[in-house]
Chain A
């Protein structure tokens, strides 16, 4: 039973390595694109089928975001990024639970012994993916803040010379933006990777019947982590677009 913290490389495009979690991220992206095209190809006023499912998901997310922002116009403005974060992360997490992920692989020789390199691995079980999502989220928060209240007022939140204490607080806020990136990425990576390790260990010890509650747990955790990522980005956006008091 081999567990690797880093996602294993399974191929190359030119000089860029392709890892197994990148492959699953591509598959989940393709899955979402196919679903979206299927849902919007014959739009009807009274929705049916996939369009119905998508409309209910979007209504759910809109209500959730509206509950925090309490402003319809702002909700629609920030909805695309937040909904994309949620849907992408939850699809990645749930597709990583399918049978075949982590078990189908290539036998390779590494360090003198033969190990199995799986060709699929949970999309968010790679720190690169979660770091990318975290950087996108934090930079988007800055961009939305600047777009809402202007560069000068937004910069005054971080660098203001009104007094020594305010200056120090501003510097701390600047540092805390970077710590948000690390916190976002490690929270998602830690949860999903630990889930994968747990499932592998349970599958190793008791492969029949015992993994069922753990799969339920992982379904739940996958959804909660997507929700948490989205809600935290939302709360940071809300804080960024407010004028400094």
Chain B
């Protein structure tokens, strides 16, 4: 305990601060790649539907599936952030 107090006194940064920053950084950085992935999947899906409107149903099903997979990565990051915050 004396070490932590010395750390806080010397640098002004305590474990609670680091925990807070880690929580925010987890979800912020963890959401970048899934957001890009969802954007790309959506754009390719719309392009495919535009080219071939008859296959819209099949393209839509495959697109939603791909969206769910990539969104899951963002959800993993969110779960880690929640665990950091509440446990």
Q: Which residues of A contact B (CB under 8 A)?
A: 3-5, 64, 67-68, 183, 186-187, 189-191, 193-194, 197, 224, 227-228, 231-232, 235
Given known A5-B87, A193-B82, contact A231–B65 (CB-CB < 8 A): yes
Q: Are A228 and B68 in contact (CB under 8 A)?
A: yes
Query: What residues of chain B have their CB less than 8 Å away from a CB belonging to chain A?
Result: 57-58, 61, 64-65, 68, 71-72, 75-76, 78-79, 82-83, 86-87
Rounded to whole angstroms, the CA-CA distance of A232 and B69 in the bound complex is: 9
CA distance A67 to B64 in the complex (A): 14
How many angstroms between the C-alpha atoms of A144 and B35 in the bound complex? 35
Number of A-B contacts (CB under 8 A): 46
Of B58, B75, B87, the residue contacting A191 (CB under 8 A) is B75
Could you say which of A67, A190, A224, A231 contacts B79, with CB atoms under 8 Å apart? A190
Pair B57/A67 contact, Cβ less than 8 Å = yes
CB contacts (< 8 Å) of A193 on chain B: these are 79, 82
Cα separation A208 to B80 with both chains bound (whole Å): 31
Complex CA gap A191/B82 in Å reads 12
Are A228 and B64 within 8 A (Cβ)? yes
Measured between beta carbons, the chain A residues less than 8 angstroms from B78 are 190, 194
